Amino acid sequence: MEQIKEMYKNVAVFGQGFVGLPLALSFAMRGCNVYGVDVVEGLVEDINKGITYHKESFEGKTIQQILNEQLKAGRYRATTDGVLAVRECNNIVVTVGIPIKNGEHDLSDLIECCTLIGRNLKKNDLVLIRSTVIPGTTEEVLLPILEKESGMKAGVDFYLAYSSERIAEGKAFEEFAYMPTIVAGINEESAKRAKELLEIVCKTDVIVASSIKVVETSKVFENVQRDVNIAMVQEFARFTEALGISIFEVIKVANTHKRVNLLIPGPGVGGYCIPNAYHYLEPKAKELGVNLDILKLSREKNANLPKVMVEIFEKLLKDVGKDLNGARVGVLGLAMKDYSNDDRISPAVEIVKILRQRGAEVLAFDPAVVTEYSFKVNTLEEALKDVDGVMILAKQKEFENINADDILKYVKPDVVIFDTKNLFEGFKKFFEDRGIIYKTI
Ligand SMILES: NC(=O)c1ccc[n+]([C@@H]2O[C@H](COP(=O)([O-])OP(=O)(O)OC[C@H]3O[C@@H](n4cnc5c(N)ncnc54)[C@H](O)[C@@H]3O)[C@@H](O)[C@H]2O)c1
């Protein structure tokens, strides 16, 4: 275990979700004493019992093993007592997010969190914001709250910094350690303190930017560019479809160009990060009088993808003389992306909703997603039994060993398969030889 400077020994991480829990454990693994703070009692209880449903791993250990090790070592503990955590720690990291509902952002969780931190802040504490925010939030919204509640001056009595969170779920530990981390402070000393804290976990570059707004804005741009790229490759997919060639092959070929990086089209854009990114830029752009037409159109197009997917599927059913209304549909995968347990803003869930609204009976199987849904089933057989159509919407490890016979033994003989993930591409000929309609995106 590394030698940690005394002033960085105690860390409180607010928010114990997809980012906060692995981040808190990353500090604990390196020898810090960490409080993981969350407002959801059940979540805190589960975590303290060693239970989490996240699909993370690091150096051959699952997050469940890491969590249990750190609990046992006494270096990590989850709590709902934020006051205690701030009193006992002088490094306070915030990973509480800004939810978006119907395009509108809601800062209340983040404000509530910073109010509590401000009220209990001590002289020389460091507050490090890691949430993804509307550019300007740290200095224009959170700093005044922290100063007012603490009665202290940021940069003089306490340190304030912002560092963007860039991990992808499923690779959290790896990316905390080996993805360059960007940080800025409200003054040089704040940036220095935050950099030293981050270096406990980040083993590659911790880059100090000139201002907090640069880091906040860069983070949102990083996500928005993926949103636009995905909207673009969806348009490419419609083009290649009409031309009768494979989008996956075109992308593979195009990406051999050293300066091209096309993303892979799927059934939509999900999760907490990419769909929200535009909505973090929009309010500031409005305030500044800046036009975001391309970004807005991309977001609208991507938000509409679940509907487009259902329309494609409906047409496949029509080709075998069936109506979506009354059809029995098996769905594989409900997560917002492959190999994830996260079903927040999941296009797969949205697609199921639309299918049901249109009168289809849906049986969906996803062994990784823990959310209860009335349409969820527990086995492949239940999902595929006597179905008229199958939609593959997210990959999971458990789907990798499914072969064509496994599918055909359950489904109706004239089944149609819409594989938005290219999971069964290898069986394309097998299906076609048996007169079954099999379509990728
Ligand atoms: N999930 C990702 O892959 C990812 C990647 C990069 C950045 N981010 C950003 O990181 C932040 C967190 O994302 P997440 O996916 O971990 O979200 P999450 O919803 O999984 O976790 C946030 C947690 O904060 C808790 N919370 C709410 N109010 C609180 C309060 N007042 N005090 C303490 N805890 C409180 C919630 O109960 C929740 O458990 C967001 O800003 C997000 O945009 C996420």
pLDDT tens for residues 178-196? 999 999 999 999 999 999 9
Separation of CA 177 and ligand 1 centre (Å): 19
Residue 349: the pLDDT is 98
Separation of CA 276 and ligand 1 centre (Å): 13
Q: What is the mean pLDDT of the chain?
A: 97
**What domains can be seen in the chain, in order of their start residue?**
6-210 (3.40.50.720), 219-302 (1.10.1040.10), 304-440 (3.40.50.720)
Separation of CA 161 and ligand 1 centre (Å): 18
Atom of ligand 1 nearest to the CA of 37: 33
CA distance 210 to 323: 59
Separation of CA 191 and ligand 1 centre (Å): 23
Residue 62: the pLDDT is 97
Shortest-distance Cα residue to atom 39 of ligand 1: 17
Report the pocket of ligand 1 as residue ranges, CB < 6 Å.
14-20, 37-40, 43, 82, 95-97, 109, 112-113, 131-132, 165, 167-169, 272-273
Q: Is the pLDDT score of 122 beyond 80?
A: yes
CA distance 355 to 345: 16
Separation of CA 38 and ligand 1 centre (Å): 9
Model confidence at 441, pLDDT cuts 50, 70, 90, reads confident
State pLDDT tens for residues 377-400.
999 999 999 999 999 999 999 999
Residue 355: the pLDDT is 98
CA dist 256 to 225, 250, 263, Å? 20, 10, 13
Separation of CA 132 and ligand 1 centre (Å): 9
CA distance 238 to 271: 24
Separation of CA 367 and ligand 1 centre (Å): 23
Separation of CA 437 and ligand 1 centre (Å): 42
Atom of ligand 1 nearest to the CA of 98: 41
Separation of CA 228 and ligand 1 centre (Å): 24
**Which residues touch 238 (CB under 8 Å, ≥6 apart)?**
none
Residue 423: the pLDDT is 94
Residue 3: the pLDDT is 86
State pLDDT tens for residues 13-65.
999 999 999 999 999 999 999 999 999 999 999 999 999 999 999 999 999 99
Percent above pLDDT 70 for the chain = 100
CA distance 414 to 271: 34
Model confidence at 1, pLDDT cuts 50, 70, 90, reads confident
Average pLDDT (113-140) is 98
CA distance 417 to 429: 13
Q: Is the pLDDT score of 431 beyond 90?
A: yes
Residue 49: the pLDDT is 98
Pocket test for ligand 1, best of 18, 166, 215 (most atoms within 8 A of CB): 18
Atom of ligand 1 nearest to the CA of 133: 41
Atom of ligand 1 nearest to the CA of 14: 33
CA angle 176–349–407, rounded 5-degree value:
100
CA distance 384 to 361: 12
Atom of ligand 1 nearest to the CA of 169: 3
Residue 67: the pLDDT is 98
Average pLDDT (351-380) is 97
CA angle 319–267–297, rounded 5-degree value:
110
Average pLDDT (210-237) is 97
Average pLDDT (167-171) is 94
Shortest-distance Cα residue to atom 23 of ligand 1: 15
Shortest-distance Cα residue to atom 21 of ligand 1: 17
Atom of ligand 1 nearest to the CA of 20: 16
Pocket test for ligand 1, best of 13, 14, 269, 272 (most atoms within 8 A of CB): 272
Side chain identity at residue 174, one-letter code: E
State pLDDT tens for residues 262-290.
999 999 999 889 999 999 999 999 999 99
Separation of CA 163 and ligand 1 centre (Å): 14
Average pLDDT (366-370) is 96
Atom of ligand 1 nearest to the CA of 164: 7
Residue 129: the pLDDT is 98
Residue 115: the pLDDT is 98
Side chain identity at residue 190, one-letter code: S
Contact at 8 Å (CB) between 97 and 132?
yes
Atom of ligand 1 nearest to the CA of 132: 41
Residue 2: the pLDDT is 75
Residue 327: the pLDDT is 98
Residue 296: the pLDDT is 98
HSE-CB of 339 using CA atoms within 13 angstroms: 10
Separation of CA 99 and ligand 1 centre (Å): 9
Side chain identity at residue 161, one-letter code: A
Shortest-distance Cα residue to atom 10 of ligand 1: 131
Separation of CA 95 and ligand 1 centre (Å): 5
Average pLDDT (390-413) is 95
Separation of CA 31 and ligand 1 centre (Å): 23
Shortest-distance Cα residue to atom 18 of ligand 1: 17
